[in-house]
Amino acid sequence: MAADKAGFVQLHSSGFGVNIFVCLKMVKDADGKPVMDASGSYALEEALRQKDCLGARVTAFCLGPVEAGPVLIRALAMGADEARHIAFNGQVQPSGLVLARALACAVRMEPEKAGAFDLILCGAASEDNGSGRTGPMLAGLLDLSLAGCVVELSHYPQKGVVLVTREVESGRRLVLELDLPALLTIQTTTRQPRYPSLSNLLRANRATVPAIAFDSLPEVGPTETLLSEEAPCAVSRVEMLSGSTAEKAALLFKMLGDRGFL
């Protein structure tokens, strides 16, 4: 299902261009540096493919602390047209409904014409929390049609629909047609997120990303509380082999031999 290769801007029925919003998240890499969460980068890549094919305008949103700036810069460097930083100052990163409500507010703050979006794309589940709730909750708050774990999409803004393929258990695929505007969560696929181009990188480094203060948004109490998050006590059946590399190799070889595998 290849997307239309228009080569010119297709006008949305509102007369304005095709608008796609992407929700991104900041996580920390192994060295503690802020980076774009991988699942969101696949959503952004899909949005940028829509920009390549349909001339869509892509706006990236990210709720995160001040240090999340590089995530938005990276989004611009990959080719997003605009970025919005919902700047959060507190200790515990908002999640679940609190996060979804803040994103919904930010989306609604977009100027009227630019705010008429066709698609909102999110990652299916982030690397850190991985609860997968944000996209569906945002769809519920904004009353959008919703499909998660999408591996392929074909966008027909003039017909007011998007065709998606969802990959479900055992690799079965469901092909669905959704009315626009729609929210899709994007699964990781073989279409790897692109590297920034030099020209976009230069443009991004000069850009000013508008910030919205999280504290200025209407407050909503969290519906869940994270009590603790620690490495689990290892209660497992595993027998860990010990010794040097060569010793462990010899031991494993013997153990597998004893069990009849070799």
Binders of another protein among 182-211, rule CB under 8 A? Answer: 182, 185, 187-190, 192
Closest CA to 12 of 62, 50, 49, 61: 50
Q: What is the spatial distance between Cα 54 and Cα 77, in angstroms, rounded to a whole number?
A: 19
Q: What part of residues 46-105 is at the interface with another protein (CB under 8 A)?
A: 96-97, 100
Tell me the closest approach of the beta carbon of residue 98 to another protein, in angstroms: 11
Q: Looking at 6-14, 46-54, 198-206, 225-233, which segment touches another protein (CB under 8 A)?
A: 225-233
Count the Cβ atoms, other than its own, within 10 Å of residue 259. 8
Residue pair 81/57 in contact (Cβ under 8 Å)? The answer is yes
Q: Residue 29 interacts with another protein (CB under 8 A)? A: no
Q: Is the dihedral of CA 196, 200, 203, 208 positive or negative?
A: negative
Figure out which of the listed residues 31, 216, 234, 258 binds another protein, where binding follows CB under 8 A.
Answer: 234
Figure out which of the listed residues 78, 125, 186, 217 binds another protein, where binding follows CB under 8 A.
Answer: 125
Q: What is the spatial distance between Cα 152 and Cα 232, in angstroms, rounded to a whole number?
A: 36
Stated as kind and residue range, the H or E segment containing 30 is: none
Figure out which of the listed residues 15, 90, 112, 238 binds another protein, where binding follows CB under 8 A.
Answer: 238
Query: What is the per-residue DSSP string for 153-164?
Result: EEEETTTTEEEE
Q: Residue 33 interacts with another protein (CB under 8 A)? A: no
80 or 99: whose CB is closer to another protein? 99
Q: Residue 13 interacts with another protein (CB under 8 A)? A: no
Q: What part of residues 145-164 is at the interface with another protein (CB under 8 A)?
A: 145-149, 163
Q: Residue 170 interacts with another protein (CB under 8 A)? A: yes
Q: What is the spatial distance between Cα 24 and Cα 135, in angstroms, rounded to a whole number?
A: 11
Figure out which of the listed residues 216, 218, 231, 258 binds another protein, where binding follows CB under 8 A.
Answer: 231
Figure out which of the listed residues 176, 201, 211, 212 binds another protein, where binding follows CB under 8 A.
Answer: 176
For residue 181, say if its preceding peptide bond is cis, omega within 30 degrees of 0: yes
